[in-house]
Amino acid sequence: MDAETLLRTDRDHLIHPVSSWRDHEEAGARILRSGKGAWVTDIHGKELLDGFSGLWCVNVGYGCQSVVDAAAEQMARLPYATGYFGFASEAAIELAGRLAARAPGDLNRVFFSQGGSDAVDSALRFIRFYQHARGTPGKRHVIGLSRGYHGSTYTGAGLTALATFHRDANVPLSWQHHIPSPYPYRHAGDGEAATIIAESVASLRQKVEDLGANRVAAFFCEPVQGSGGVIVPPPGWLAAMRRTCTELGILFVADEVITGFGRTGPLFACETEQVVPDMMTVAKGLTSGYAPMGAVFMSEDIYTTIRDHTPAGTPVGHGMTYSAHPVSAAIGLAVLDLYEGGMLDNGLRAGAHLAARLTTMSDHPLIGDVRISGMLAGIELVSDKATKRKPAPDLQLAAKLSKAGYEAGILFRAFGDDIIGLAPPLCCTIEEIDLLCDRLYRVIDDLLPAIR
Ligand SMILES: Cc1ncc(COP(=O)(O)O)c(C=O)c1O
């Protein structure tokens, strides 16, 4: 198809995820054709430095031949094997084994999904099964964080606490609750780490007390809140929440869909504070976006409790046709080889440079806050630094930013509430990080006359 036909056909037929259908019809699609390393090229031949790894997922970068070869080999030899009725593929078994060996603590059991949303949905179902199995079916309420994102299934959208996902959807469901986000920049008090941690712990305790400990099953959180605006909690926060869940007798679930696979430095963000969750959800970097796949890790206790409660001959009723898909699994293995073969180390180096560059940029009058964890960063724009005043909504900053970024040859996430998200591929060179920051600085600086 030529460019014009592609644009027309897109407008007429392709529904885009989480988009304004009206705006999209007016603006049309930005159509990408190829990618190599940290770069993508659109159908007009324009090259763009991808500062967002697609959708925080292409962690190893584009065009990795070892990944392509692994997928092609698996696809040619055995493109599909069901996991039902006792069947399995070599790749899926191997991937489960390698992941279990690398996961925190006793998260030894892995259920594969197609992405992050159905990983979260699966986790919620397994939690119900677990509570029934241990004789506490009344423990069905689940608590998340405001500004949290846990995907787009019906149950995940309710656990999510972003207005876009609740509008006209009758969620959160009656058993889904939220406590405030640990958001240092917008903290109403002194913004000190100890205060924020103490407040989060107190909020969780209070919420569990209000609901009744015998009715609460689990607390979900992202180690860094991604879609809520890249909110990095203070050091010690994750470990404190884990400890509190143990004390309260509720499960602690880490949603590492974004933070997993080197995004914040280590393979899993929980490692930084030696946190061992009861369950962990992953996706994105698991296959680096080369094919769809997510996973739920569960502890030995959760697995054996459900197993022992379910009589022989009775299935645990949860599954999907493409669970543990062999091509995705083969890709996962090839991607894991890359992470362990130097990509995580490169991400650490590039992330340190990104942090240094962004910190320098924070002198800019429009940059209120810079927050960074490895190769994951948020830049919060304000119209007045002293008062932290947000730019006027009618400026439509997000649309302006992403248009200007595209013209400048960089991709990043422009959130609706004046926050810029960065998640460059871990393969970035220092020069590419410099180029990304230089271009981004100019894009922000060009906005100055419009905002002030
Ligand atoms: C923390 C978190 N959980 C779940 C999801 C949903 O994953 P997916 O878009 O693969 O369904 C996302 C997606 O961005 C996410 O960031």
pLDDT in tens, the chain (452 residues): 999 999 999 999 999 999 999 999 999 999 999 999 999 999 999 999 999 999 999 999 999 999 999 999 999 999 999 999 999 999 999 999 999 999 999 999 999 999 999 999 999 999 999 999 999 999 999 999 999 999 999 999 999 999 999 999 999 999 999 999 999 999 999 999 999 999 999 999 999 999 999 999 999 999 999 999 999 999 999 999 999 999 999 999 999 999 999 999 999 999 999 999 999 999 999 999 999 999 999 999 999 999 999 999 999 999 999 999 999 999 999 999 999 999 999 999 999 999 999 999 999 999 999 999 999 999 999 999 999 999 999 999 999 999 999 999 999 999 999 999 999 999 999 999 999 999 999 999 999 888 87
Please tell me if the CB atom of residue 257 comes closer than 6 angstroms to any atom of ligand 1.
yes
Please state, in angstroms and rounded to a whole number, the distance separating the CA atoms of residues 26 and 46. Answer: 21
- Whose Cα sits closest to atom 12 in ligand 1? 151
Which CATH code for domain 3-63+342-451? 3.90.1150.10
- What is the token pair recorded at 124? 């919620």
SS3 214: helix
The response to whether residue 223 sits with its C-beta less than 6 Å from ligand 1 reads no
Could you tell me the distance, in angstroms and rounded to a whole number, from the CA of residue 275 to the centre of ligand 1?
Answer: 21
What ligand 1 atom has the least distance to the C-alpha of 226?
A: 16
Q: Ligand 1 in contact with 418 (CB < 6 A)?
A: no
User: Ligand 1: which of 149, 225, 263 to mutate, most ligand atoms within 8 Å of CB?
Assistant: 149
- Is 153 touching ligand 1 by the criterion CB < 6 Å? no
- Exposure b/e, 298-323, CB count within 10 A at least 16 = b: bbeebbebbeeeeeeeeeeeeeeebb
Nearest alpha-carbon partner for 170 in 180, 157, 183? 157
Spell out the long-range contacts of 99-103 with Cβ–Cβ below 8 A and sequence spacing 24 or more.
99/295, 99/297, 99/332, 99/336, 100/297, 102/267, 102/268, 103/268, 103/280, 103/297
Q: Is 227 in the pocket of ligand 1 (CB under 6 A)?
A: yes
CATH class of the domain comprising 66-338: alpha beta
Where do the CATH 3.90.1150.10 domains begin and end in the chain?
3-63+342-451
Atom of ligand 1 minimally distant from the CA of 114? 10
Among protein residues, the one with the nearest Cα to ligand 1's atom 7 is 116
- The DSSP code for 419 is E
Q: In what order do the strands lie in the sheet with 413-414?
A: 367-372, 377-381, 419-422, 413-414
Tell whether ligand 1 has an atom less than 6 A from the beta carbon of residue 256. no
Tokens coding 332: 């996962």
Ligand 1 mean position to 284 CA, how many Å?
Answer: 8
Indicate if ligand 1 lies below 6 Å from the C-beta of 221: no
Residue ranges, CATH 3.40.640.10, the chain: 66-338
Is 289's C-beta closer than 6 angstroms to any atom of ligand 1? no
CA of 10 to the centre of ligand 1 (A): 24
Q: Is the CB of 158 under 6 A from ligand 1?
A: no
d(CA 190, CA 149): 26
Q: Which residue has the tokens 């699609």?
A: 29
For residues 318 and 145, the answer to whether their CB atoms sit within 8 Å is no
Residue 220 in contact with ligand 1 by CB distance below 6 A: no
